[in-house]
Chains A and B, each alone.
Chain A
């Protein structure tokens, strides 16, 4: 039982981290020390907020209405990730963008038919592979890092808003942590905070030192970093990371839809509103910004308001 609980917690933490990682691959905010500081500043209030949620000793229980709002928000977040997924296909100049989207559709249909914890397990595996790949980067870059590049003048705001936009985990927390013991919830949330507040800003700092002054001329700074850092003179790792980014994107969207679905909902019932949101976001970009921001803010505020109400009632 203990093992099962432990692995369930790990899988939930992986599900929280994966969409943030995918957002990181999609961003076009240049790497700089100021950007990394901005990311950190965006994570600090979120970290403080989610840990306040887990201070009580009873399991986290949220009312059905709140969970329903989070479900709608999660579907919108999945649609937002899909638009980013399409943007990534375009940025990487892949010739068959349509086929990649067709594969994404197949993956979503497949994932929605799987047991509840399947996405979590897959997310764990992906994160493990990604971490192993990232560990190789510093070795390849050893000798070409320039510490002085950290002093490049830049704005903190870009990194701050970038990280704020990729805070979809706030919507997933109530759905994933429902009925979890506060101790387990704390562990999962700690992993999410460490990944976003420590590991990703560190990767940005590393990229800043490696990319030097060439920051914004190519869409995605992470892929510029990879092009600057071949493993050896003959081996480049771009191909692995392109496929990895697609896998992260596909699984993040699938996980969001799986988490947002009620236990006995048919896949099509989940996919139809998601497809409608995708079309809306594609045709009306301001709607995407408005709806996803509203969903994120609601997802961040409602669990709090609920906890405060409970505390007042007690």
Chain B
């Protein structure tokens, strides 16, 4: 054997990173109650058990779980993060420390998230996916939520459960602004373009959207911004005029409750403004952008055409 092949024999050192898989826990659901100290509960998939722990600070969460379970924690498989309390700081820490996959679903609960997970009353991740696919809510995973918090106007929307229904909770690092109405959530889902179907009652029948071609424009009026949603929607309906009115209400509610009332930019409005040549959008701070949005006017100009089924 030639001596220069010897270094290659060191390659098996790569395998030193492997540990016994039986001493690992890979939680798929993590619940956290955020307060002075943080209470945690995690559902481990292999053993179908709930691990509970307490941590004094957010960065200590993985260690707390590890100590409580007596096993190495693999956090790369978390698919749902349940939270109670202001969740912004937790999400930022989780993504900075890379213990939450960016595409994990997040959900805020009104009561204790840990108790909900332990008692088995927490909503499943699949419920959020189904809500997004049926156009009840826009699909907002950890990366989308955090992206809006760090960019845009610094106000983001978390999927949340309130009064037994799924909705969106507007909040920034300091406070929560409240939840959105059902119409606003549906309007955001319509603009989000990630749904597989979108049906709603229209008169005595059900209207089903087949095709949407919506555009968002942000323009500058004399003293404020104007956010316009325009375009065409093709739907399976007997009453296109009534469907148009309902959809206009949904889109108007989405713009009004997010941008015009709270100053939240969940629809890339800042980027649309930059594209529209508004200089302030390029240079202003997040707080200034939120203030500009609160003064903005919203318009919805859509046309609904009935799908010819013949």
Q: Which residue of B lies closest to A217 (CB)?
A: B95
B271 to A218, Cβ gap below 8 A?
Answer: no
In-complex Cβ contact of B268 among A95, A102, A149 (8 A): A149
Note all chain B residues with C-beta closer than 8 A to A214.
95, 102, 143-144, 146-147, 150-151
Please report the total number of A residues contacting B with Cβ < 8 Å.
Answer: 31
A213 to B150, Cβ gap below 8 A?
Answer: yes
Q: Which residue of A lies closest to B91 (CB)?
A: A217
- Whether a CB of chain B sits under 8 angstroms from the CB of A48 is no
Note all chain B residues with C-beta closer than 8 A to A262.
none
Q: Which of A133-179 contact B (CB under 8 A)?
A: 146, 148-153
- Whether a CB of chain B sits under 8 angstroms from the CB of A99 is yes
A153 CA to B14 CA, complexed, in Å:
42
B17, B268, B283 pick with most chain A CB within 10 angstroms? B268
Note all chain A residues with C-beta closer than 8 A to B152.
213
B4 to A113, Cβ gap below 8 A?
Answer: yes
A152 CA to B5 CA, complexed, in Å:
51
Cβ distance B71 to chain A, nearest Cβ, rounded Å: 15
Question: Given contacts A99-B14, A106-B10, A213-B150, are A148 and B102 in contact (CB under 8 A)?
Answer: no
In-complex Cβ contact of B96 among A96, A151, A218, A230 (8 A): A218
A102 to B13, Cβ gap below 8 A?
Answer: yes
Note all chain B residues with C-beta closer than 8 A to A230.
103
Q: Which residue of B lies closest to A154 (CB)?
A: B282
A216 CA to B92 CA, complexed, in Å:
11
- Whether a CB of chain A sits under 8 angstroms from the CB of B281 is yes
A95 to B17, Cβ gap below 8 A?
Answer: yes
A102 CA to B10 CA, complexed, in Å:
9
Note all chain B residues with C-beta closer than 8 A to A216.
150
Note all chain B residues with C-beta closer than 8 A to A107.
7
B7 to A152, Cβ gap below 8 A?
Answer: no
- Whether a CB of chain B sits under 8 angstroms from the CB of A260 is no
Q: Which of A253-267 contact B (CB under 8 A)?
A: none
Cβ distance B211 to chain A, nearest Cβ, rounded Å: 15
- Whether a CB of chain A sits under 8 angstroms from the CB of B148 is yes
A148 to B272, Cβ gap below 8 A?
Answer: yes
Question: Given contacts A96-B16, A99-B13, are A218 and B4 in contact (CB under 8 A)?
Answer: no
In-complex Cβ contact of A109 among B7, B16, B92 (8 A): B7
Note all chain A residues with C-beta closer than 8 A to B16.
96, 99
A94 CA to B16 CA, complexed, in Å:
12
- Whether a CB of chain B sits under 8 angstroms from the CB of A103 is yes
Q: Which residue of A lies closest to B284 (CB)?
A: A153
Cβ distance B155 to chain A, nearest Cβ, rounded Å: 12
Question: Given contacts A213-B147, A214-B150, A217-B150, are A153 and B11 in contact (CB under 8 A)?
Answer: no
Note all chain A residues with C-beta closer than 8 A to B98.
93, 218
- Whether a CB of chain A sits under 8 angstroms from the CB of B101 is yes
Question: Given contacts A103-B14, A106-B10, are A211 and B275 in contact (CB under 8 A)?
Answer: no
- Whether a CB of chain B sits under 8 angstroms from the CB of A71 is no
Note all chain A residues with C-beta closer than 8 A to B151.
152, 213-215
Q: Which residue of A lies closest to B4 (CB)?
A: A113
Cβ distance B173 to chain A, nearest Cβ, rounded Å: 14
- B282-296 contact mask (Cβ, 8 Å, vs A): 1 or 0: 110000000000000
In-complex Cβ contact of B282 among A93, A94, A150, A153 (8 A): A153
- A201-234 contact mask (Cβ, 8 Å, vs B): 1 or 0: 0000000000111111110000010011010000
- B92-111 contact mask (Cβ, 8 Å, vs A): 1 or 0: 10011010011100000000
* Sample of 5 more A-B contacts, CB < 8 Å, known A99-B17, A148-B275: A95-B17, A102-B13, A109-B4, A214-B102, A215-B151
11 A–B contacts from the bound complex (CB under 8 Å): A102-B13, A103-B13, A148-B275, A149-B268, A149-B271, A151-B271, A212-B268, A213-B151, A214-B95, A214-B146, A217-B146
Report B's interface with A, CB cutoff 8 A: 4-5, 7-8, 10-11, 13-14, 16-17, 92, 95-96, 98, 101-103, 143-144, 146-148, 150-152, 268, 270-272, 274-275, 281-283
